């Protein structure tokens, strides 16, 4: 068998194609949408990702809203897809979580059926396909998802960040990206830090990168009501994960608590 992964999504390693042949169909639209209050649809924001010294840091706040109402303060917006891939979500969690489950099964199905992991190109195209199939719901305003996909290519020994628009177009990110309602503030600060900070983003270690992520989300929450602030008294902290040559790792709560205290202390 060839060592080169087969990226043809019509082949036997495509779990998405298997679902379709088994009768599963991704809903492209909802009939009778006029009876649905769009303001009641749960939305999740804000997430970010940037390259640091050893890989990529991925982070998100924990708030989920429906219109102007705060519905949930412990939403996990960074989702593992496989040992070397994470998806950070902004938009409708129900749609995003379903996409994440399908992607996870797709990657594992390919690995087992083809006896090799899916390539980075294949991974990014798989998410693009799901987003394209979701155009109907996105345009109706009840299923829009704007994700960030992060993966580490073990063959190239290189991490990748991809940003997607609502229609499935993917863009490789060389330095940093953010999406969600709090992202304009975050993108501005990241650009400033990368250009004129004490170190570029790519020169920072894991601790420095995680501290910056905490401060970014706290700052975004000052200007955007849909972005939740950390609440140490309730043990609510941002979700922070890293992707390196060792795979993904989520920071545990005790580590986040100590890091948050240090990051937000006035000098």
- The model's pLDDT over 154-207, given as tens digits with 9 standing for 90+, comes to 999 999 999 999 889 999 999 999 999 999 999 999 999 999 999 999 999 999
The pLDDT, as a whole number, for residue 134 is 87
Integer CA distances (angstroms), 160 to 56, 174, 229, 249, in order: 8, 8, 28, 16
Q: What is the pLDDT of residue 10?
A: 47
Tokens of 90: 């902004």
Query: How is 52-65 classified by DSSP, letter by letter?
Result: ETTEEEEEE---EE
Clarify whether 45 is annotated catalytic.
yes
Cβ atoms of 118 and 111 closer than 8 Å: yes
Place of tokens 């992707």: 243
CA 9 from centroid of its chain's CA atoms: 23
Angle at 83 between CA 259 and CA 201, to 5 degrees: 45
- For residue 220, pLDDT beyond 90: yes
> Which residue among 34, 45, 65, 244 is the active-site one?
45
For residue 67, the model assigns a pLDDT of 80
R_g of the chain, CA atoms, integer Å: 19
Mind listing the pLDDT tens digit for each residue in 116-147? 999 999 999 999 999 998 888 777 767 789 89
Instruction: Report the chain's mean pLDDT, rounded to a whole number.
Output: 88
Pairing of strands 148-153, 85-88: antiparallel
Backbone angles phi, psi at 205, to 5 degrees: -80, 180
* Residue 6 pLDDT > 50: no
* Nearest-angstrom CA–CA distance, 53 and 243: 11
pLDDT in tens, 15-70: 777 777 776 666 666 555 555 555 556 677 899 999 999 999 999 999 998 888 89
Q: What is the pLDDT of residue 3?
A: 46
Fold for domain 41-263?
3.60.20
∠ at Cα 78 (130, 215), nearest 5°? Answer: 135
C-alpha–C-alpha distance, residues 105 and 170, integer Å: 21
115 or 5, which is more confident: 115
DSSP 97-110: HHHHHHHHHHHHHH
**Residue 177 in contact with residue 223, Cβ under 8 Å?**
no
């Amino acid at each position: 068998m060839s060592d080169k992964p087969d990226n043809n999504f019509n082949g036997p390693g495509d779990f998405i194609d298997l679902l379709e042949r088994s009768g599963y169909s991704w809903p492209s639209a909802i009939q009778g949408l006029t009876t649905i209050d769009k303001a009641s649809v749960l939305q999740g924001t804000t997430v970010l990702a940037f390259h640091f010294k050893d890989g990529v840091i991925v982070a998100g706040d924990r708030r989920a809203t429906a219109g102007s109402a705060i519905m949930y303060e412990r939403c996990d917006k960074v989702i593992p897809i496989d040992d070397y891939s994470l998806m950070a979500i902004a938009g409708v969690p129900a749609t995003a979580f379903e996409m994440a489950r399908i992607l996870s099964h797709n990657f594992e199905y390919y690995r087992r059926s083809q006896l090799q992991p899916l390539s980075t190109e294949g991974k990014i195209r798989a998410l693009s396909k799901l987003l394209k199939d979701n155009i109907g719901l996105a345009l109706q305003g009840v299923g829009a998802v704007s994700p960030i996909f992060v993966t580490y290519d073990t063959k190239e020994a290189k991490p990748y960040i991809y940003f997607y628009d609502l229609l499935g177009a993917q863009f490789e990110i060389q330095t940093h990206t953010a999406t969600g309602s709090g992202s304009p503030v975050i993108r501005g600060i990241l650009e400033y830090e990368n250009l004129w900070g004490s170190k570029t983003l790519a020169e920072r270690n894991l601790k420095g990168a995680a501290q910056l992520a905490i401060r970014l989300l706290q700052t975004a929450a000052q200007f955007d009501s849909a972005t939740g602030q950390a609440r140490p008294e309730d043990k609510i902290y941002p979700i922070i994960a890293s992707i390196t040559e060792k795979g993904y790792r989520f920071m545990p709560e005790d580590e986040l608590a100590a890091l948050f205290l240090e990051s937000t202390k006035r000098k």
